[in-house]
């Protein structure tokens, strides 16, 4: 599990552990990751998911893994003409290339075992676009296309690959953005959903846990929106 130290990632970790999954949290914020791990009897390892060699080393040392959840990511609210090539590289590296690296590292063991679950956390921005987040949306759209391709390549090997695409989820990070944007931004966020509210990390975690389970064995190459209907029809 990448990016499991806080927010949505920490909720996913708790849900997976409650379902009986032996969890390893890989995160740059190792102290926060250790705190989450201690509460659920999991393991935590420091990892920069943008470092291809480090990803392979951690998988070799801590694996094999039969479930992979890619949650590490970041956003940057800037209109496209205000971004730089350095911004693009940073956003694409963490949000897309890291997913490629971790999948590349874990797939051989899944293929050998004849069973695997890959769940990638994208965003409704990857399906709908994002005003002020074009590069982030491009990266998350890439995650969706990549996941479909991995599903096609590995369906005959007992491996499923799916995407969970959250909409506005009530996390401390989002709350800080809403505080800066005021009531107008909150209305825009909740108004974009059919249910008229923010989602919770536990609601995202429940979807991930289902897709990682045997119960989802006939589901692959799909994108499940956990967004209150924001992506309805996409």
Q: Collect all residues with Cβ–Cβ distance below 8 Å to 32 and sequence separation of at least 6.
A: 5, 6
Concerning whether 226 is annotated as a catalytic residue, the answer is no
Q: What backbone torsions phi and psi does residue 26 show, to the nearest 5 degrees?
A: -110, 120
3 state SS of 158: coil
Which CB contacts under 8 angstroms, 24+ apart, belong to 183-189? none
Q: What is the 3-state secondary structure (H, E, C) of 111-136?
A: HHHCCEEEEEECCCHHHHCCCCCHHH
Peptide bond into 64 cis (omega under 30): yes
Spatial separation of the C-alpha atoms in residues 125 and 207, rounded to whole Å: 18
Query: 17 near 40, Cβ under 8 Å?
Result: yes
Spatial separation of the C-alpha atoms in residues 120 and 204, rounded to whole Å: 12
**Catalytic position from the list 135, 136, 201, 216:** 136
Q: What is the dihedral of CA 36, 39, 40, 45, to 10 degrees?
A: 40
Alpha helices in 41-124, H assignment, sequence order: 52-62, 85-92, 98-113
Which residues participate in catalysis according to the annotation? Answer: 136
């Amino acid at each position: 599990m990448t990016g499991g130290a806080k927010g949505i990632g920490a909720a996913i970790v708790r849900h997976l552990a409650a379902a009986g999954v032996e969890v390893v949290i890989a995160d740059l914020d190792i102290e926060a990751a250790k705190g989450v791990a201690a509460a659920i009897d999991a393991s935590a390892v420091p990892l920069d998911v943008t470092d291809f060699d480090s990803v392979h080393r951690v998988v070799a040392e801590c694996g094999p893994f039969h479930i992979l959840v890619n949650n590490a990511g970041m956003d940057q609210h800037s209109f496209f003409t205000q971004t730089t090539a350095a911004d693009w590289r940073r956003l694409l590296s963490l949000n897309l290339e890291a997913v490629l690296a971790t999948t590349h590292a874990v797939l051989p063991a899944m293929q050998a075992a004849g069973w695997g679950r890959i769940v990638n956390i994208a965003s409704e921005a990857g399906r709908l676009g994002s005003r002020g987040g074009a590069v982030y949306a491009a990266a998350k759209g890439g995650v969706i296309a990549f996941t479909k391709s991995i599903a096609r390549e590995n369906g005959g090997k007992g491996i499923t690959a799916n995407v969970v695409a959250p909409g506005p989820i009530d996390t401390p990070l989002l709350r800080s953005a809403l505080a800066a944007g005021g009531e107008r931004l909150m209305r825009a966020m909740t108004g974009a959903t059919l249910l008229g509210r923010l989602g919770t990390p536990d609601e995202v975690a429940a979807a991930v846990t289902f897709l990682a389970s045997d119960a989802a064995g006939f589901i692959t190459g799909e994108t499940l929106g956990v967004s209150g209907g924001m992506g309805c029809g996409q």
